[in-house]
Copies of this chain bind each other. A is one copy, B any other.
């Protein structure tokens, strides 16, 4: 575990980057009308007055706007990175310098520093935690049980984190209620599907400039992220192949017009592979051995374990950097395999993560979930909670309003009809 000593107020790469960061934070803000609306409300009503929040999130322009919203709601906020590669150093600098957020994050930080930053966020003595992958909560429950006491609740952003939290709750070790922001429709359906879909394509194209039209694009996993990615890859002209372990999802992919097969089969014909499963070793030795020369391999799932990189390294006689974010593995049989972004989420490593207008909804849910915890924590158990439906719909309604889109309302006659059961054929 990390022993690096870091400053208490912030630890960022270079404060001189703050001007650039501030400008980019403002740019993102323009695409986050829902959060803007909540922020106005927070400024007026101060629902988080005096609350200490520690957040472990990707340090991006969108996260910055969430932090500022929380702060404007009265909170005292600390922020560390949820991934060593995803930090935008200029944003971190601006948060520390311009917005009074205790920020601990440096792009490319080593493992020790990564954990020392989480520990710094825990030293903030959070009453509410915000997590993206459950690393903060895990450290709290293992190395830093001392800091558990004051926590009234937490929020979790990702599918991966929610899976871990359910495992913790099942084992009876979870010590406070956590709102699974990921489970909000306005979060996972939009963020995972539309956000991950576009930004993963963006990351792959930026790092390789490969033509997707006519390529064989293998999507491992057909959850919301996989659905979004498959849809966008096809939208760019690729011939998309899906792999799955769940028969219902596999069948859905078939009905959506994709080819479905085992990865053992897909490995032989794919040009580009991208994992979005939430599982580990989805691409492993047996698959690398079957791949075509020139195959491109990437991950857009939360952790960098979806591709078994050590296995790839063992097969290779040499490894060298090619383009930025591309590592060329020369295998002993002469084939080359290209690994993107060191197997970390390619949409954050090589692109900019979800567009601001997607994060707008995720983070609106985060902000409202924090408010919800403050109001309701006394009545909550130590388990995983869904985002209340009303809150979810409120986010959707705010978004539609911001887009200038009007929808229908039920007439009284229709409401009555839906509530009745005796009117028939």
Residues of A within 8 A of B (CB): 23-24, 27, 30-31, 82-84, 114, 133-135, 138, 142, 163-165, 167-168, 171, 185-186, 189-190, 193-195, 197-198, 201-202, 205-206, 209-214, 231-232, 234-240, 243-248, 250-252, 254-263, 265, 278-282, 294, 303-305, 322-323, 326, 351-352, 354-358, 392-393, 396-397, 399-400, 403, 405-411, 413-414, 417-425
The 8 Å CB contact of A400, one of B254, B356, B403, B418, is B254
Known contacts A356-B209, A396-B248; A214/B421 CB under 8 A: no
Within the assembled complex, what's the spacing in Å between the Cα atoms of A212 and B356? 11
Q: State the copy count for this chain.
A: 4
Known contacts A138-B421, A209-B352, A303-B425; A214/B255 CB under 8 A: yes
- Which residues in B have their C-beta under 8 angstroms from that of A355? 209-211
Known: A23-B323, A248-B393, A254-B405. 18 other contacts (CB 8 A): A30-B294, A84-B425, A135-B425, A164-B421, A168-B421, A171-B421, A185-B248, A194-B255, A197-B237, A198-B213, A202-B209, A210-B355, A214-B254, A214-B403, A237-B255, A247-B397, A254-B400, A305-B417
Query: Is A393 within 8 A of B247, CB to CB?
Result: yes
Within the assembled complex, what's the spacing in Å between the Cα atoms of A189 and B237? 14
Query: Is B405 within 8 A of A261, CB to CB?
Result: yes
The 8 Å CB contact of A194, one of B237, B245, B248, is B237
Query: Is A255 within 8 A of B294, CB to CB?
Result: no
Known contacts A245-B410, A247-B400, A323-B24; A212/B236 CB under 8 A: no
- Which residues in B have their C-beta under 8 angstroms from that of A240? 257
A-B contact pairs, 21 of them (CB 8 A): A84-B425, A133-B424, A135-B425, A142-B422, A164-B420, A167-B420, A194-B237, A197-B237, A198-B237, A201-B236, A202-B206, A209-B352, A210-B356, A211-B354, A213-B256, A214-B254, A240-B257, A254-B405, A263-B408, A279-B410, A281-B414
Known contacts A235-B232, A355-B211; A407/B247 CB under 8 A: yes
- Which residues in B have their C-beta under 8 angstroms from that of A279? 410, 414, 417-418
Within the assembled complex, what's the spacing in Å between the Cα atoms of A297 and B182? 34
Most buried by B among A82, A193, A326, A357: A357
Query: Is B250 within 8 A of A425, CB to CB?
Result: no
- Which residues in B have their C-beta under 8 angstroms from that of A133? 424-425
Query: Is B135 within 8 A of A358, CB to CB?
Result: no
Within the assembled complex, what's the spacing in Å between the Cα atoms of A280 and B354? 35
- Which residues in B have their C-beta under 8 angstroms from that of A358? 211
Identity of the chain B residue whose Cβ is nearest the Cβ of A256 in the assembled complex: B237
Query: Is A245 within 8 A of B213, CB to CB?
Result: no
Write the nearest CB–CB distance from A111 to chain B, whole angstroms: 8
Identity of the chain B residue whose Cβ is nearest the Cβ of A168 in the assembled complex: B421
Identity of the chain B residue whose Cβ is nearest the Cβ of A242 in the assembled complex: B407
Identity of the chain B residue whose Cβ is nearest the Cβ of A171 in the assembled complex: B421
